[in-house]
Chains A and B, each alone.
Chain A
Amino acid sequence: MAEHPEISVLTPYARSLGIKLAKWDGDTPVMRVDFVEAVEGRPEHYHGGATGGLLETAGYAALRALLAQRDREAVLKPINITVQYLSAGKSRETYASGRVTKLGRRSANITVEAWQDNPDRPIATAVMNVLMA
């Protein structure tokens, strides 16, 4: 079994929304949120903001995991995020994981995907830039 860094991948906001670390896929943390009222937008569907929050949380988690592997410490600050909503988030659990596309000295570029039944059919994707102070 692979050793995974002891990292805090959940912000107070993420914990409050009910996001959990579901598992590790290799070196990448996979986040999960259940369909509870706090994520619901139009009836029986995810709110775009909740899906966005899950994507963002998975993006930060991927970056924290990579920084921990490299023994780097940083305070992370959001620069921006662009979310593409591909299909409606239905009333079941949703997963998300990110990939650090570019790790620079001061900023990182991360791509993130969220899915429900099938990881090959994402319901939303995001690209985000994060400042490392």
Chain B
Amino acid sequence: MTETAKFDPRAATPVLTSRGHSGWLGLAYSDHGEDWVELTLPWRTDLLGEDGQQVLASGPIMSLMDMASGLAIWKKMDRFEPIATLDLRVDYVRPAREGASVYGRSQCYRLTRSAAFVRGLAHDGDVDDPVAHIQGVFMKIGGADTREVPNG
């Protein structure tokens, strides 16, 4: 007997990334599992980290991982409810390749009554050769998030 999952990252991502910071970055759904979600960040020359160098800035990778983490948490909760980032660490192990989309995959490996623990990585095509690793903690914050998510 399997219950039908309610929170569907594939359906929720386009809604959550239609506007705001995620919309500005152009984040899109890539893949998901039971407790993880992967999003993509398209290559854009206005997101570079230094004039004259074709290297993606680190800020957008942080945003990508923050958003993928949120979706992984909602997937693990199987519902959409307000959460806020408490702590996020990003290790930038190598620059992303010029012109490449970056994929951010985050896993919610532990959920408690008030906190959600995540870990993940960003890669530019080969998941075995990451550009960044992340670890973070999010908190449930109560109240309402007014965004309408399908089956949220």
Contact = CB atoms under 8 A, between A and B. Distances in A.
Given A11-B49, A13-B46, A85-B84, A47 B90 contact: no
A52 B53 CA distance: 22
A41 interface: yes
A47 B66 contact: yes
B85 interface: yes
Interface of B: 19-25, 45-51, 53, 57-60, 62-67, 82, 84-92, 95, 141, 145-147
A11 B45 CA distance: 11
Contact of B50 (A38, A43, A75): A75
Interface residues of A, number: 36
Contacts of B48: 11-13
B88 A53 contact: no
Contacts of B24: 17, 37-38
Interface string A101-130: 000000000000000000000000000000
Nearest to B92: A78
B66 A52 contact: yes
A43 B146 contact: yes
B20 A37 contact: yes
B87 A56 contact: no
A75 B53 CA distance: 10
A81 B90 CA distance: 5
Interface of A: 8, 11-17, 37-43, 46-50, 52-53, 56-57, 75-85, 88
A46 B90 CA distance: 19
Nearest to B145: A42
B48 to A, nearest CB: 4
A11 B60 CA distance: 12
Given A43-B146, A46-B21, A88-B141, 20 more contacts: A12-B48, A12-B49, A13-B48, A13-B49, A15-B46, A37-B23, A37-B24, A39-B20, A39-B21, A43-B145, A48-B66, A49-B25, A49-B64, A53-B60, A56-B58, A81-B58, A81-B90, A83-B62, A85-B86, A88-B84
A41 B146 CA distance: 12
B60 A77 contact: no
A83 B136 CA distance: 9
A13 to B, nearest CB: 4
B64 A11 contact: no
B146 A17 contact: no
